[in-house]
Structure 1
């Protein structure tokens, strides 16, 4: 059981002991630290924070703890209830709120939950702000409100509909072409809030949604990370229904993957590639993805005359680099689409709308569209960490071992070989080392990953 305190939020497993897991006491402690930080950012009489959650079993309990902690600090809370991460991000801006908290552990299994923290722009906190909150949590300076100054909770369950309305108003969402295409799509909502939001979006576009695991019970029917090995039910259902393709999102709807009409994976790395191709065709410009993402985005960007830039891993780093380079589209190779025309956050809903527009305008099948892009193959593996492992020392040794190759150490160690690459980094959200590789064949990518796992294990034993 685990509690991970990082600049990107507080994530842990439910139950167990305070400080070792995400217990009610820990939820209150870090909600109070965040509330204190929010009040320090703006000198004003009344502060407000938007709170929403995915459908995890523990979500309602954690949300009540978090909201009432903020109320106890004199902060007003806008309660979105069951929502999505991008919806909460947009609601912060639309409410002119001072921040937001999303209660979700993204792709982690059901025993996990987390407090994902936003600033007043509806964006994830940078490293400095995250560290301030961690410091406040460990200090003894958090002040609560007196009885006449308590906050209040206002329920607003309209924001998913408002989010969809904003998407439909985007100039590059070709509503007319999508409606004419008369598409039929299977939706795997992993029994979380994607099962609410994605069908609503599709219905607004006259796309026929066939619902699979769309009851928001929080009992995930399979591992909620949208990878091929977890999606056999979706792949079979697409073929069985003779659907045009399948859609799957993670529990908080910021990761997006597709299955083609033959029941084959489109490739989560290619979600961003396809959407970027569509955006760049209409609005030429620059793109950004993180260091662990496919070279295919660079290829598409250069085809349209733009410049591709790689950022450190982490949404906040991608967003910072997108702003710096004035990127028109960006995101992460795990199926995260960031379209700044709407907002600076990974958003599966806008990703779906833009992908549908691309599909409708090209009049291609999903499998044919995939063939438009250079094929790279990735392997994503991990090594579980133990307290005895000195990860920084291991990564330093790996960098020294391959010093003759092109090395990037802004985020772990990335080693660029002529025909492939490997990226080694410590996860911000789980006690693991991630090993990402990319090559011209799946076999080569897997072999490269396995080779580096063995090399890391050998270094760890020294």
Structure 2
């Protein structure tokens, strides 16, 4: 059982003891710390906060604890109920709120939940702001309202519909162009809110939808991280239904993966590559992804005459670099699309619409589209941390071992070789070391990952 306190929020497993897990006491304390920070940040005694959640089993409990804590501080709550991460991000400025909280552990299994914290722009708080919240939680330096000054909760159940309307209103999304193609798509909503939001968008675009695991029960039918090994059901369903492709999202709908018409993975790394290809063809400019993302985005960007920039892992880091270089699109290789013409947040609904436009205009099948991109292969592996292991020292040792390759240490250690690269970093959301590699073949990528797993284990055993 685990509780992870980081600058981006608090994440943990439900049950257990306070301080070790995400218990009601920890939830209330961290919600109050966020409230105290927000009150100081906006200079208001009665701030407005948007709250939404995914469908995981603990969602209603955590939702009530957070909302009522902020009511107790004198805040007014705009409650979206079952929602998505990008929907809450849009709702914060849309409702002229001072902040927002998304209750989701993203791709983590059902025993996890988390508080994701937003500023008044609907963007994730930065490192400095996150540190202030952590310090407030540690000192329990917060105060609550008198009885006459308690906040109020207003239900707002229409925001998923408003989100769909915002996507349809984007200049590069032409609903009639998509509707004319008569696409048939299978959707795996992993029994969370993507099962509501994605079919709603597709039907508005005239797409025939085959729903798989779209009832938001919170009983995830498979590991909710949209990786190949977890998606055998939808791969089979796409072929069985004769669909044009399949769509998979994670529980909070900020990650997006596609299955081609043959039941093969398009590759979550190529979600951003394809969406960027479409956007750059209409609005040339720069792109950004994180250090763990495929080189294919760089290649496609340069083919359109733009510049590619890399950021440290984490949405807030990618957004900062996007703003610095005025990128027209960016995101993360885990299937996260950030399109500033909509908002600065990973959004599977926006990504779906852009992908459908690319397919509509190209006239290609999904498999043919993938074949036209530079072909790189990635391996994404991880090692669970043993208690007491000094990960920073271990990574510093590896950086020294490969100093001739000029390793990038902005975020963990990334080592570029002529035939590929490896990126080693400590996860911010799980007690693991992530080992990402890329090479010209899957065999080479896997071999490179296994090689570094062996080196890490040898160092940790010393």
Q: TM-score normalised by the shorter chain: which range applies? A: over 0.9
1:388 partnered with 2:388: yes
In structure 2, the partner of 1:118 is 118
Alpha-carbon distance, 1:45 to partner: 4.2
Alpha-carbon distance in structure 2 between the residues aligned to 1:243 and 1:320: 38
Alpha-carbon distance in structure 1 between the residues aligned to 2:447 and 2:280: 34
In the TM superposition, 1:119-198 aligns within 5 A as: 119-198=119-198
Give the 3-state SS of the residue equivalent to 2:262 in structure 1. Answer: coil
Retained in 2: the 8 A contact 1:406–1:417?
A: no
In the TM superposition, 1:295-444 aligns within 5 A as: 295-444=295-444
Alpha-carbon distance, 1:157 to partner: 0.7
Alpha-carbon distance in structure 1 between the residues aligned to 2:420 and 2:359: 30
Alpha-carbon distance in structure 2 between the residues aligned to 1:44 and 1:7: 23
Alpha-carbon distance in structure 2 between the residues aligned to 1:400 and 1:140: 41
1:223 partnered with 2:228: no
Alpha-carbon distance in structure 2 between the residues aligned to 1:293 and 1:45: 42
In structure 1, the partner of 2:212 is 212
In structure 1, the partner of 2:256 is 256
Alpha-carbon distance in structure 1 between the residues aligned to 2:360 and 2:406: 41
Alpha-carbon distance in structure 2 between the residues aligned to 1:187 and 1:132: 40
Alpha-carbon distance in structure 2 between the residues aligned to 1:181 and 1:32: 50
Alpha-carbon distance in structure 2 between the residues aligned to 1:249 and 1:363: 24
Greater alpha carbon shift after TM alignment, 275-284 vs 385-394: 385-394
Alpha-carbon distance in structure 1 between the residues aligned to 2:23 and 2:147: 26
Retained in 1: the 8 A contact 2:29–2:140?
A: no
Retained in 2: the 8 A contact 1:99–1:120?
A: yes
Alpha-carbon distance in structure 1 between the residues aligned to 2:383 and 2:391: 11
Retained in 2: the 8 A contact 1:189–1:251?
A: yes
Alpha-carbon distance in structure 1 between the residues aligned to 2:60 and 2:140: 28
Alpha-carbon distance, 1:388 to partner: 1.6
Q: RMSD of the alignment, in Å?
A: 0.6
Q: 1:13 to 1:140 in 2, by over 3 A?
A: closer
In structure 2, the partner of 1:281 is 281
Give the 3-state SS of the residue equivalent to 2:404 in structure 1. Answer: coil
Alpha-carbon distance, 1:46 to partner: 2.4
Give the 3-state SS of the residue equivalent to 1:181 in structure 2. Answer: coil
- Deviations along 1:122-155, one digit per CA (max 9) or x if unpaired, are 0001000000000000113201000010000000
Structure 1 unmatched ranges of 5 or more: none
Give the 3-state SS of the residue equivalent to 1:247 in structure 2. Answer: strand
Alpha-carbon distance in structure 1 between the residues aligned to 2:296 and 2:326: 20
- Deviations along 1:134-181, one digit per CA (max 9) or x if unpaired, are 000011320100001000000001001001101101110121110000
- Deviations along 1:91-114, one digit per CA (max 9) or x if unpaired, are 001011010000000000000000
Alpha-carbon distance in structure 2 between the residues aligned to 1:405 and 1:204: 50
- Deviations along 1:17-59, one digit per CA (max 9) or x if unpaired, are 0000000000000000000111001223421100000000000
Alpha-carbon distance in structure 2 between the residues aligned to 1:344 and 1:167: 14
Alpha-carbon distance in structure 2 between the residues aligned to 1:42 and 1:62: 25
Task: Provide the aligned length of Structure 1 versus Structure 2.
Answer: 462
Alpha-carbon distance in structure 2 between the residues aligned to 1:141 and 1:6: 18
Normalising by structure 2, we get a TM-score of 1.00
In structure 2, the partner of 1:201 is 201
Retained in 2: the 8 A contact 1:47–1:98?
A: yes
Structure 2 unmatched ranges of 5 or more: none
Alpha-carbon distance, 1:404 to partner: 0.6
In structure 2, the partner of 1:76 is 76
Alpha-carbon distance in structure 2 between the residues aligned to 1:63 and 1:452: 41
Alpha-carbon distance in structure 1 between the residues aligned to 2:292 and 2:348: 19
Alpha-carbon distance, 1:380 to partner: 0.4
Retained in 1: the 8 A contact 2:4–2:429?
A: yes
- Deviations along 1:357-384, one digit per CA (max 9) or x if unpaired, are 0000111111111111011000000010
Alpha-carbon distance, 1:266 to partner: 0.3
Retained in 2: the 8 A contact 1:183–1:244?
A: yes
Alpha-carbon distance in structure 2 between the residues aligned to 1:201 and 1:238: 19
Alpha-carbon distance in structure 2 between the residues aligned to 1:141 and 1:253: 34
